[in-house]
Structure 1
Amino acid sequence: MSLVQSVDNVALLPAYLAAGTAVLVLLADLLVGRAGATVAVACAGVVATGVGAVVVGVAGTRRTFCVGADCSWVFDGRAALIAGVFALLTLGVLGLSAPLLRGGPTPVGEYCFLLACAMTGGVVLGAAGDLITLIVALETLTLPLYVLVGLRRGSLASAEAAVTFFVVSVVATTVTLLGAALLYAATGGLHLDRLGGLLAEAPDLPLIPAAVALVVLGLAFKVAAVPFHAWAPATYDGAPLPVAAYLSTASKLGGVVALLAVVQRALPAEVTGPVLALLAVLTMTVGNLVALRQRRTVRLLAWSSVAQAGYILAPLGVLALTAGRADEVRAGAYAAAVAYAVFFVVVELAAFAALVALRPAGADGGTVADLRGAARRRPWAGAAFALALVGLAGLPPGLAGLFAKVTVVRAVLDGGAGWLALVVALNAVIGLAYYLRLAATLYADPTPLPTDPAPAGEPTAPTLGAVPGRAAWPVTVALAGATALAVVIGFAPQLVLDLAAR
C-alpha cells in the first residue's frame, strides 16, 4: 500500500476560501484601517466560501489526503450543506454585529477575523474523515468563541461567561481526546470508516466501551446535552447578543456534526444507541422544564436550545433497538438529525436577529418583561420574532419547525421507538408554554403591570425605551434574510431533507 497521499485542491477549495477570508480580513484591517472595508471583505469572503462549497458539492463526492481506501477529507453533498449553513450563519451574525461594531469599543478587525476562523473550523468539520481532523476542526470552531464571548468590556457577566465557556470546553476536549487515544490504542486506526470496520469485526476489543463513552460524552458537552449543559445559559446570557446567536447556532451545529460523524461512521450502534437515547430524553425534558421559569430572554432561548438539542439527538436514540439498526432505518435517523439541526439553526438565527432588532444597540437581551408590547411599536420585527418562536415550537405558520419535528418523530417511529416518539411529543407540548408566552408578551399592553415581581438587581418595570425606533440596516437585512430562508425551507423542506440524506 502506497503511503503517498494524493491532494485534491478542488476538494479543499471551501477550506481555502474560509481560511483565506480570515487572512484577508487581517490584511484589510492593517492596510486600510476602515471598519466598513474590513466588514465588507469579511462578508465577501463568507459569500465566496458558501458559493465555493455549493459548486464543489454539486460535482459529487471528492476525497483527498488518502492512504489506500482511508481518506482524511471527504467532501460530499452533506459536507457542502454543512459548509453552506456555516457560511450563512456567519454572514447573518456579521449583519447582526453592525450596532456592536459601529463606533463601539469592539475591535472590528479582530472580531471579523475570529468569526472567519470559527467558520473555517465549521467548513472543515463537515468534511473530516478521521478523528484528528474532526477534533482539530471542532476546536478551530470553538477557540475563537472564547474571546468573542468576553468582548463586552466592563461586564462582569461577560468575563464570567468567557471563563466558564473556556474551562468547560477544555474539559470536554480533554475527555474527547482521551477517548480517541483509547480507540487508537485498541484498534490502531483513526480514520472514521476504518474504525467502523474494525469495531464491527471485533466488537469485544478491550477499552472499547470506555473509549466510546468518553468520545460521546466529550462531544455531548459541545452540544450542551444534559447533564453537560450547565455552561450554556450563563455563557449565552453573558455574551454580546450576536455572539450568543452564533453560539446557539453555529457552535451547536458543530457539536452535532461531530457527534453524528463518529456515531454514523465509527462507533458501534449497540453501544452508542442507549447512551444517546438517555441523553435525548434528559436533554429535551430538562431544557423545556427549566425554560418555563426563565425571566431573561437570552436565558430562555438558551434553555430552549438545550431542549432542541434533545430533539436533534432523538433520532439517534433508535440505535438502542435492534430494529433501529437496520441500514434503511439508520440512514433515515442520521438524515433526520442533520435536517432538524439545519431547520433549528435557521429559525434560531431569525429569533436572535429579531431580538437584536428589538433591543438598543449594544444592549443585552434584557428580560421578557422588557419586550412587552414590542410588536406594537415595531410590527415587522415583532412579527418576525413571533414567527420564529412559533417555528421553534413546531406550530404553523412556522412550517420549518413543524416539518423538523415531523421528520424526527417519523424517524423515531420507523425505528420502533414509540416510547421515544411519545417523549418528543410531550416535550413539544411543554415547549408551547414558554414559546407562546414570549410571543404573547410581544403583543401585550406595553403598560407595566405593578404585580410583576422582579429579582434583585433587575429593573422593577419594563424598560419602555428598550425598543428603538429603527434598527440598523444590516440588522434589518439579516433579519429579513433569516426569516425569508425559514419561510422557504418551511414551504420546501425537501430541499434540506434531500441534501441531509446524501
Structure 2
Amino acid sequence: MGSQPVGHLALLPLYAAAATAILALLADLFTGRRGAVTGVTLLGTLATAAGAIVAAGAEPTFCASGGCSWVPSGAATTTAVLFAGLTAGVLAFSLPALRLGIAPAGEFCFLLACSMTGGVTVAYAGDLITLIVGLETLTLPLYVLVGLRRFAPSERVTTDGAAASVTFFLISVVSTAVALLGVALNYAATGGVHLALLTTAPAPFAPLAGVGAALLVIGLAFKVAAVPLHAWAPATYDGAPVPIAAYLSTASKLGGVIALAAVVSRLDTRGVVAVLAILTMTIGNLVALRQSRMVRLLAWSSVAQAGYILAALALGEPGVVAALAYAVFFVILELIAFGVVVALRAPGQDGGAVADYRGAGRRHPWLGAALVLALAGLAGLPPGLAGLFAKLSVVDALVDADWTWLAGVVVLNAVIALAYYVRVAASLYSLPARVGISVADPVLVDEAVHPRVPVPRPVALTLSVAALIVVILGFAPQLLFDAL
C-alpha cells in the first residue's frame, strides 16, 4: 500500500471536513468571537459538500490486496453532501442558544465538525476498520455535545443532559466492543476486511463467520437505535439540547444505516436483520403511542423508522438502494420536525410536552404547516409525498423479493403509527387549554399560550430549504434514486 500513490482528489471531502474542525478551534482561540467561529464552521460545511461533488469521479485510493479503503461512489457523494447539509442545519438551529452563551461556541462547533468528519469517513469507507473508525469519530463528539452546557434554564435539563450523556456513552462502548468482536471473528474466518472482498467463508469456518457477521450487525444496530439496543435513544434525545437531538436522529442514524448497508449487502445476515426489523418497528410504534413529551415521541418514532429501513436491508444487496433512499427521506423530514420544535421553544429549553404545542399552528401557520408536512411524510401520507415514496420503495423491494409477509408487517406498523402522528398534527390546531385565562375569545387564548414571536432567521432559512427539498423529492423521487 505504501507504493500506491495517494488519491488526494478522492480525499478532498475528508480534508475539507477535518479542516473545518481545526479552523473552528483556531477561530475561537485567536478571535474569541462567536460569529467568526460559526461563520468558519458554516463555510466548512459548504466546502465539504463541494469537495464531495468534485471528488465524485475520482478513483479509489489506499488500495492493497485487491481491495481499497477509500471508495468514491454515487452513494458516497450523496451521503457526504447530506452529512454536510445536516451539520449546517443543526448549527443553524443552535445559533439562538449559542448567542445566549448556553454552550461555548468554539467547543460546540469543533465537536460538530469532528462528527461531520466521521460521517464523511463512513460514506467513503471501503473496509471494516475504516468503517468502525468513521462511526466512532461520528459518535464520540456527540457524547460531549449531549451534555455541553454552561447553564440551563432549569435543574431538570442540566441533570437530564448529564444522565443522557453517560447512558449514551456506556451503551455505545458495549455496542462497539460487540461490533469489533464480529469484525475479528469474520477476519479469522475469511482473512479479509475490505468490503469488496467480503465473501462466504470456507466450509470449516462458515459457523465462525456466521457468528461474526451476526455480532457485527448487532453492534452496528446500536447506531440506528434498533431493538434491543434502543434504550439509550429516548433518554438521550430528551436530555440533550434539541438541536443535538436532531443531529442524533439524523446524521448519527444515517451513519449507522450506511454501515449496515455495507455489511448486509456482502454477508448473509438476512435472518438477524429481519428479526431486528420486526422488533424495532413494532416496539417503536407501540411505545410511541403512549408518549406525552414531544422529543421522546420523535425518538420512539425514529426507532420505528429504523425498523422500516432494516426491513429493506434484510433483503441484502437488492434492498440497499431502497434502504438508503428511505434513510435520506427520513433524515430530512426528521430535521424539519426538530427544527419546528426549536422554533417554537425558547433557546435552551427542552422539547416540552405534546400538550405544550396545542394551538401552536394557529399562531404560527407556516411552522404548523412545516410540522404537518414532516409528520405526514414520516407517516407516509400526502402531502408528505417524499415519505410516501420512501415507504412504497421499501414495500416494493420486499414484494419483488417474495418477502410479502415482511411487507405486510411494514404496512401494519405504518397504520399503527398513524395514531400518534395524527394526534400531534391535530393538537397543533386544537384550542389550547385556558389555564389561568378568563377570556372566552379563542384568539386571545391563542395569543396568551403561544404568543407570536419572530423565528430566528437561520432557523427559518434552514426549515425553508429543508421543506423545499422535501417537496422537490416528493414530486421527483427519481432524482434521489439516480444519485444513489
| Class of the TM-score when normalised by the shorter of the 2 chains | over 0.9
| Residue aligning to 1:374 | 360
Describe how 1:73-152 pairs up with structure 2 within 5 A. Answer: 73-152=70-149
**Offset of residue 496 of structure 1:** 0.9
Residue by residue over 1:336-357, the C-alpha shift from the partner in whole angstroms, topping out at 9 and shown as x without a partner, is 0000000000110011111111
Residue of structure 2 aligned with 1:306, choices 303, 306, 311: 303
| Residue aligning to 2:351 | 365
Q: Secondary structure at the match of 2:25?
A: helix
Q: Which amino acid aligns with 1:473?
A: R
Residue of structure 1 aligned with 2:192, choices 189, 192, 202: 189
Give the alignment's TM-score, normalised by structure 1: 0.91
Structure 2: distance between partners of 1:67 and 1:492: 40
| Residue aligning to 1:325 | none
Q: Which amino acid aligns with 1:477?
A: L
Whether the 8 Å contact between 2:143 and 2:169 is mirrored in structure 1 is yes
Whether the 8 Å contact between 1:223 and 1:256 is mirrored in structure 2 is yes
| Residue aligning to 1:40 | 39
Quick one: structure 1 residues 464 and 283, their matched pair in 2 at CA, closer, same or farther if it must change by over 3 Å? Answer: farther
Whether the 8 Å contact between 2:282 and 2:413 is mirrored in structure 1 is yes
Q: Secondary structure at the match of 2:308?
A: helix
| Residue aligning to 2:464 | 480
Structure 1: distance between partners of 2:136 and 2:306: 20
Q: Secondary structure at the match of 1:318?
A: coil
Q: Which amino acid aligns with 2:472?
A: V
Q: Which runs of 5+ in 1 are unaligned?
A: 320-329, 451-460
Quick one: structure 1 residues 234 and 101, their matched pair in 2 at CA, closer, same or farther if it must change by over 3 Å? Answer: same
| Residue aligning to 2:167 | 164
Matched, 1:28 2:14: no
| Residue aligning to 1:326 | none
Whether the 8 Å contact between 1:250 and 1:345 is mirrored in structure 2 is yes
**Offset of residue 229 of structure 1:** 0.5
| Residue aligning to 1:352 | 338
Quick one: structure 1 residues 443 and 56, their matched pair in 2 at CA, closer, same or farther if it must change by over 3 Å? Answer: same
**Offset of residue 318 of structure 1:** 3.1
Structure 1: distance between partners of 2:40 and 2:376: 35
Residue by residue over 1:336-386, the C-alpha shift from the partner in whole angstroms, topping out at 9 and shown as x without a partner, is 000000000011001111111111121110000000000111111111111
**Offset of residue 498 of structure 1:** 1.4
Moved over 6 A (4+): none
| Residue aligning to 1:402 | 388
Q: Which amino acid aligns with 1:168?
A: I
**Percent identical across equivalent pairs?**
61
| Residue aligning to 2:398 | 412
Q: Which amino acid aligns with 1:396?
A: P
Structure 2: distance between partners of 1:409 and 1:485: 23
Quick one: structure 1 residues 464 and 151, their matched pair in 2 at CA, closer, same or farther if it must change by over 3 Å? Answer: farther
Give the alignment's TM-score, normalised by structure 2: 0.94
Whether the 8 Å contact between 1:3 and 1:67 is mirrored in structure 2 is no
**Offset of residue 468 of structure 1:** 5.6
Structure 1: distance between partners of 2:170 and 2:323: 28
Whether the 8 Å contact between 1:318 and 1:416 is mirrored in structure 2 is no
Q: Secondary structure at the match of 1:7?
A: coil
Quick one: structure 1 residues 419 and 205, their matched pair in 2 at CA, closer, same or farther if it must change by over 3 Å? Answer: closer
Q: Which moved more, 1:176-185 or 1:129-138?
A: 176-185
Matched, 1:176 2:179: yes
Q: Secondary structure at the match of 1:207?
A: helix
Quick one: structure 1 residues 206 and 405, their matched pair in 2 at CA, closer, same or farther if it must change by over 3 Å? Answer: closer
Whether the 8 Å contact between 1:371 and 1:462 is mirrored in structure 2 is no
Structure 1: distance between partners of 2:65 and 2:170: 39
Q: Which amino acid aligns with 2:469?
A: L
| Residue aligning to 1:438 | 424
Q: Which amino acid aligns with 2:222?
A: F
Matched, 1:242 2:243: yes
**Offset of residue 93 of structure 1:** 0.4
| Residue aligning to 1:323 | none
Q: Secondary structure at the match of 1:424?
A: helix
Quick one: structure 1 residues 421 and 23, their matched pair in 2 at CA, closer, same or farther if it must change by over 3 Å? Answer: same
Whether the 8 Å contact between 2:359 and 2:450 is mirrored in structure 1 is no
**Offset of residue 114 of structure 1:** 0.5
Matched, 1:470 2:431: no
**Offset of residue 465 of structure 1:** 4.7
**How many residue pairs align between the two structures?**
470
**Offset of residue 447 of structure 1:** 3.0
**Offset of residue 441 of structure 1:** 0.3
Structure 2: distance between partners of 1:145 and 1:11: 27
| Residue aligning to 1:211 | 212
Matched, 1:6 2:5: yes
Q: Which runs of 5+ in 2 are unaligned?
A: 437-444
Whether the 8 Å contact between 1:359 and 1:466 is mirrored in structure 2 is no
Quick one: structure 1 residues 385 and 5, their matched pair in 2 at CA, closer, same or farther if it must change by over 3 Å? Answer: same
Whether the 8 Å contact between 1:358 and 1:468 is mirrored in structure 2 is no
Structure 1: distance between partners of 2:378 and 2:207: 43
**Offset of residue 463 of structure 1:** 11
Structure 1: distance between partners of 2:341 and 2:114: 25
Q: Which amino acid aligns with 1:32?
A: T
**Offset of residue 194 of structure 1:** 1.5
Structure 1: distance between partners of 2:35 and 2:378: 34
Whether the 8 Å contact between 2:102 and 2:348 is mirrored in structure 1 is no
Structure 2: distance between partners of 1:449 and 1:431: 30
Q: Secondary structure at the match of 1:483?
A: helix
**Offset of residue 276 of structure 1:** 0.7
Q: Secondary structure at the match of 2:198?
A: helix
Q: Secondary structure at the match of 1:75?
A: coil
Whether the 8 Å contact between 1:62 and 1:74 is mirrored in structure 2 is yes
Structure 2: distance between partners of 1:497 and 1:287: 27
Describe how 1:242-391 pairs up with structure 2 within 5 A. Answer: 242-265=243-266, 267=267, 269=268, 272-319=269-316, 330-331=317-318, 333-391=319-377
Whether the 8 Å contact between 1:369 and 1:462 is mirrored in structure 2 is no
**Offset of residue 486 of structure 1:** 1.1
| Residue aligning to 1:231 | 232
Q: Which amino acid aligns with 1:10?
A: L
Quick one: structure 1 residues 204 and 240, their matched pair in 2 at CA, closer, same or farther if it must change by over 3 Å? Answer: same
